[in-house]
Amino acid sequence: MLNILLVENNVNSTLLEKALVKCGYDFLKVQGGASFLTLAKAHDPDVIIFNLDTPSDPLISSLYSFHQYKPLPVIMFANHCCGDTINKVINAEVSVLIIDGLTGVRINSIIQVAMAKFNQLQLLKEALEEARSQLESRKQIDRAKTILMKTQNFTENVAYHTLRKLAMDRNITLGEMAKNVIAMAELLK
């Protein structure tokens, strides 16, 4: 069962609460957006749902900071939202933003869509980070090969195979060996 943090600024609104109860979700409700950071860190929710009149800049900034700490699916219902605020909300990685459309009937499907979108975004981020890491490793390997070619008069092929053999002998990755060669070359300058 999902653990949901519900952040609302409308004290009289019970529509969302009733919909969550009807769908069988456990949730913790908090009034106002300022304290959601503390509660989110303390209660470790699976999803955060905001029900606001208008998302404020401090709230959006806090949400962005929280995503750096712990990414989570976030659903935001807002009564009003201008174009600039919509862009800020999207940049803060809100999974689903619904403007002037809070209905209890759709809450389960909205939560499922938010989680699916969030999971897809996380996979893309992981793939991007892996690609960046591989590119950085490739750059380090090329730089280490260049160092070996200049200092040892190796051909590119021999430099690569030397790096590879050194990495295998030390049971480390080729990228780590390349970093070691570069560090050694810097020391000997």
Domain edges within the chain: 3-102, 129-187
Report residue 12's pLDDT band, with 50, 70 and 90 as the boundaries: low
CA dist 126 and 88 (Å) reads: 23
Between CA 119 and CA 125, with CA 123 as vertex, the angle to 5 degrees is: 115
Q: Tens digits of per-residue pLDDT, 156-188? A: 999 999 999 999 999 999 999 999 999 999 988
- Say whether pLDDT at 139 is over 80: yes
pLDDT of residue 33: 59
pLDDT of residue 93: 86
pLDDT of residue 53: 82
CA max distance for the chain: 78
Contacts of 111 (CB under 8 A, 6+ apart): 2, 4, 23, 25, 47, 49, 73, 75
User: Taking a C-beta distance cutoff of 8 angstroms, is the pair 97, 78 a contact?
Assistant: yes
Q: Which two tokens stand for residue 123?
A: 């996979």
Architecture of domain 129-187: Orthogonal Bundle (1.10)
pTM value is: 0.69
Q: Which of 122, 30, 33, 110 is nearest to 71 (CA)?
A: 122
What ranges in 70-173 are assigned the alpha helix state H?
83-91, 107-152, 156-170
pLDDT of residue 11: 57
Contacts of 101 (CB under 8 A, 6+ apart): 77
Q: Considering the domain 3-102 in this protein, what is its CATH number?
A: 3.40.50.2300
User: Taking a C-beta distance cutoff of 8 angstroms, is the pair 6, 107 a contact?
Assistant: no
Q: Tens digits of per-residue pLDDT, 50-104? A: 888 888 888 888 888 888 888 889 988 888 777 788 888 888 888 888 887 666 6
Report residue 37's pLDDT band, with 50, 70 and 90 as the boundaries: confident
Residue with tokens 């208008």: 54
